[in-house]
Amino acid sequence: MSFPLERTQVDGDGWRRAFEQTLEAGGRLGALWGSDERDRAGGFAVHALLVVHERLRWISLPVADSYPDVSHVFPAAGRMQRAIADLLGLRAGEDGRGWLRHGAWRPDSHPLRKDVASEADLPEGDPRYDFVRVEGEGVHEIPVGPVHAGIIEPGHFRFSVVGERVLRLEQRLGYTHKGIEKRFEALSVEEGVRLAGRISGDSTVAFAWAYTMALERASGAEPTARGVWLRALLLERERIANHLGDLGSLGNDGGLAFGLAQFSRLKEDLLRTNRRLFGHRYLMDRVVPGGVAADLDKGGVDTILREVARLEEELVALRAIYYDHPGLQDRCINCGRLSAQQAGQLGVVGLAARASGHAIDARVFPGLPPYDVLQPKLCAHRNGDVASRIVVRYEELFESLELQRRIVRDLPAGMVRAPVPQASDGRFGIGWVEGWRGEVFVMLEAGPDGRIRRCHPHDPSWQNWPALEYAVLGNIVPDFPLINKSFNLSYSGADL
């Protein structure tokens, strides 16, 4: 149950060099976060997870108040650095605008510092924000949000357009920032899994698994084999539920309401099966330290096999309708294109990366148990448009259905859950799970008495939001909902 993790402390030059070497080796930025170490090392630190193929490198840099900017190497680092500045007051780069802060606290308050109490009510700051202005004849701005027209999470999009064509999109996120990282520090490591499962409601299995993986590594425990296989079953069911939901919405946004009606029916059927077999429609709180809090009997296996066969039949029919529908194809092909080169430069991950020709899938590289045995197929496309992201979702649906079939056939016998000893003070671990949207990381460090000293959860939306700003360029405003839905990024997961 292991992946190669190399942890090193670096200096400022080493920090910058490590990023550059990662880029040269074709690697990517996994996560970037800060910590308050004043009670032991006398200062602060920033940390990065760098991923090259299936190797993980964790570098840490001691920091007094500022550190080298690496957003020229990996552009997605820019927002992560701004979040660190808001939460801990450690600065990098020239963009001094708050990212998570808005007006809820002032630039000189740093809520994630250890000397700020968890229930502190900080004085309000100035909520104004300087968007980048595009100037020229006929250019005007369309501000959208934070309250959107549909049933979706809040965020602000500022379009600069000429006629209907988008010249620039600037996102402003952070509206759902609710202090998750600070909240973790008021919990025990066992209680933390419940919060991890509520970082992004549509990815509860992915985050809970990444959290428990980090915890198990910190305490030197192993989950049971049956528990790990059942986690994979739940993770694939989460992937299926989200892909079904998004394929329906994509049909709807493309003018095919039939698609929404059919796919939302299939998704509801799946959620009801979840409720019946595992006790929760979205599988919240089913992944627990040491394994899972659910089991599958013979009847459950039969239910899943029947459901897999029925879904395969329905999906073949629906795929043929989607692929044959001229109106839908017209909306999707060449719409919201993210080229392989752009995706690489922006460090895009997950299904968006795979639809732009990048072979990134943590189920394959490194392929942690049980995926080392299951050997899932990596589904990819090279066009990087909305249509490619639809193709990848269909392919992944069929693959996840097949994986379910293999999981219930070869499910190891035994206990679903093993005891996990308390992680001692200072022990740490990393969890790495390919959720439906992309790779999720959780970094966990235990404190004294089984408390959480620091927990940083990382959603792939951090890397993919900036890519959406590029994918929409040159497209028309009415195509934005379709392009946006084809990525379907998380607000809550990255706002924390």
Partner 1 sequence: MHKLLRRIVRVGIPTERPPKPDPALRTAAPRFGERILELLGRALAIRHVDAGSCNGCELEIHALNNPYYNLEGLGIKFVASPRHADLLLVTGPVSRNMEEALRRTYEAMPEPKLVVAVGDCGCTGGIFGESYASRGAVANVIPVDAAVPGCPPEPAAIMQTILTAVTNGRRSSPALR
By CB under 8 A, the residues from 238 to 257 that bind partner 1 are 245
CB of 118 to partner 1, least distance (A): 6
Peptide bond into 366 cis (omega under 30): yes
Cross-strand pairs, 168? 160
Residue 438 near residue 351 (C-beta atoms within 8 A): yes
Residue closest to 182 by CA, chosen among 442, 455, 495: 455
Q: Which of residues 315-374 bind partner 1 (CB under 8 A)?
A: 317-318, 320-321, 324
What is the closest distance, in whole angstroms, from the C-beta atom of residue 106 to partner 1 in the complex? 11
Task: Work out whether 489 is an interface residue with partner 1 (CB under 8 A).
Answer: no
Q: Is 262 in the site for partner 1 (CB under 8 A)?
A: yes
- Cα–Cα distance between 235 and 242 in angstroms, integer? 11
- What minimum distance in Å lies between the beta carbon of 215 and partner 1? 17
The yes or no reply on residue 281 touching partner 1 (CB under 8 A) is yes
Longest Cα–Cα distance in the chain: 70
Q: Which is nearer to partner 1, 1 or 317 (CB)?
A: 317
Applying CB under 8 A, among 25, 147, 373, 476 the residue interacting with partner 1 is: 147
Q: Does 104 bind partner 1 (CB under 8 A)?
A: yes
What is the smallest separation between the CB atom of 8 and partner 1, expressed in angstroms? Answer: 33
Under the criterion CB under 8 A, does residue 70 sit at the interface with partner 1? no
DSSP per-residue letters across 243-279: HHHHHHHHHHHTT-HHHHHHHHHHHHHHHHHHHHHHS
Smaller CB separation from partner 1, 1 or 316: 316
CB of 173 to partner 1, least distance (A): 10
User: Where do the H-state alpha helices sit in 139-256?
Assistant: 180-184, 192-196, 204-219, 225-253
Among 7, 38, 72, 265, binds partner 1 (CB under 8 A): 265
Burial of 191 (0-12, 13-18, 19+ CB in 10 A): middle
Contact region with partner 1 (CB under 8 A), list: 114-122, 133-141, 388-396, 413-421: 114-122
Taking the complex as a whole, how short is the minimal distance between the CB of residue 149 and partner 1, in angstroms? 4
Q: Which stretch binds partner 1 (CB under 8 A): 55-63, 149-157, 301-309, 413-421?
A: 149-157
Q: How far is the CB of 114 from partner 1 (least distance, A)?
A: 14
Nearest to 493 by CA among 424, 447, 453, 441: 441
From the CB of 488, what's the least distance to partner 1, in Å? 10
User: Which value, in Å, is the radius of gyration of the alpha carbons in the chain?
Assistant: 22
Is residue 183 close enough to count as binding partner 1 by CB under 8 A? yes
The answer to the question of residue 118 lying near partner 1 (CB under 8 A) is yes
The rounded Cα 253 to chain-centroid distance in angstroms is 23
Candidates 385, 393, 391, 387; CA nearest to 471 is: 385
CB 272, CB 281: distance < 8 Å: yes
Q: Which amino acid is at 245?
A: G
Stretch that binds partner 1, among 53-61, 109-117, 135-143, 288-296 (CB under 8 A): 109-117
Query: Binder to partner 1 among 28, 177, 453, 454 (CB under 8 A)?
Result: 177
| Residues contacting residue 217 through CB under 8 Å, at least 6 positions apart | 428, 429, 430, 431
Span from 73-81, 89-97, 101-109, 432-440 in contact with partner 1 (CB under 8 A): 101-109
Label residue 171 exposed, middle or buried (CB < 10 Å: 0-12, 13-18, 19+): middle
313 vs 121: CA distance, rounded Å: 55
| 174 touches partner 1 by CB under 8 A | yes
Shortest distance in whole angstroms from residue 1 CB to partner 1:
28
Q: Is the peptide bond before 466 cis (omega within 30 degrees of 0)?
A: no
Residue pair 455/198 in contact by the 8 Å Cβ criterion: no
- Residue 180 is a binding residue for partner 1 (CB under 8 A): yes
Residues in contact with partner 1 by the rule CB under 8 A: 100, 102-105, 109, 111, 116, 118-122, 127, 146-147, 149-154, 174-180, 182-183, 194-195, 198-202, 204, 245, 258, 261-262, 264-265, 267-268, 271, 281-282, 284, 317-318, 320-321, 324, 490-492
